[in-house]
Chain A
C-alpha cells in the first residue's frame, strides 16, 4: 500500500511526471524490444552469420599480411 502510493505520487500524480514516465518508458521499451528481437534473430541464425565465423578467416590471414 505504501509502495503503490509512493509510486503513484512519484510517477503518475502530475501530468508532467506522467508524460515523462511515458517517454522514458518508450525509450527503455524500444531499446529492450530491439535488443530482444536482435537476440532472438541471432539465436535463430547462430553459426550462420559472419560474426560467428569471422575468427576462422581473420586470425588465419595476418601471417602473410604486411601491415
Chain B
C-alpha cells in the first residue's frame, strides 16, 4: 500500500467517529428542526408544509419581538457586567500578584465553580436574594430595611446577577490567557518611551487584550442568549427569555413549528456573533513571540 494511501486511510479512521457523532447528534437534529420550522400548526398538532408563517409570526407579533429584544438586552448586560468584573480582576491577577502560587489559587477560585452543577449555582442565588434570603436578613439586621423586601428576586436584576455569576469564568479565562501572553517588556518599553501607566494601559495593554475581551464577550453573550434555567429559577414575569419560549412551544403549547423557527433564529443570531467575533479576532491576531 502506498504511503499516501495509508496516511489517508488512517486519517479517515481517526475522523470517522467524531464525524459520525456530530452528524447523528448535531447536523441531523438541526436539519429536523430546520424542516419543522416550515411546518404548519394544525390543532391539536402540526402538519408538514413549506411556508414562512412561523417566521412571519415571530417578526410581526410584538410578543416575540419583545422576547428576542429582551434576551439580547439581558445577554448584553450580562456580557458587560462580566467584563467589568473580570477585566480588573484578571489585570490584578496577572500584573499585580507576584507569587505564581497565589495567582494560580485565585485563578482556580474563579474556575472551580464551573465544576459545580449549574442548577445548584443558580439555585444558590435564590437563597441569597429571596425574601427569606441571606441578603434580606443581613439588611434587616443592620437596619437598612425594616422588613424583608422582595425586590431582589424574580426580576431581570436577579437574572443578570445570577447569569453574570455563572458565566464570569468564561470571561476571565480568555482575558487571562491574552493578558498572560503580553511580554512584560512591552509595558516597560512603553514607559521607557515616556508614556505614563494609564496611557500605557490604553495604548498597549488594552489593544493586546482585545482578542481576549472579544472571545469572553462572545462566550458570555451567546451562553446567556441561549439560557433558560436562570429565568426559570430566579426570573419573574418580565424575565422570559427566547429559550423559555422555545421550551414552552415544544411543551405545553405544543407548537413545534413555531418553536423550531425560534430555535433557528436563535441559532442564526449566535452563529452571526461567533463568526463576527472570529473575524475580529483574526484581524487582530498578532505575533507576540
Tell me, yes or no, whether A binds B: no
Q: Which residues of A contact B (CB under 8 A)?
A: none
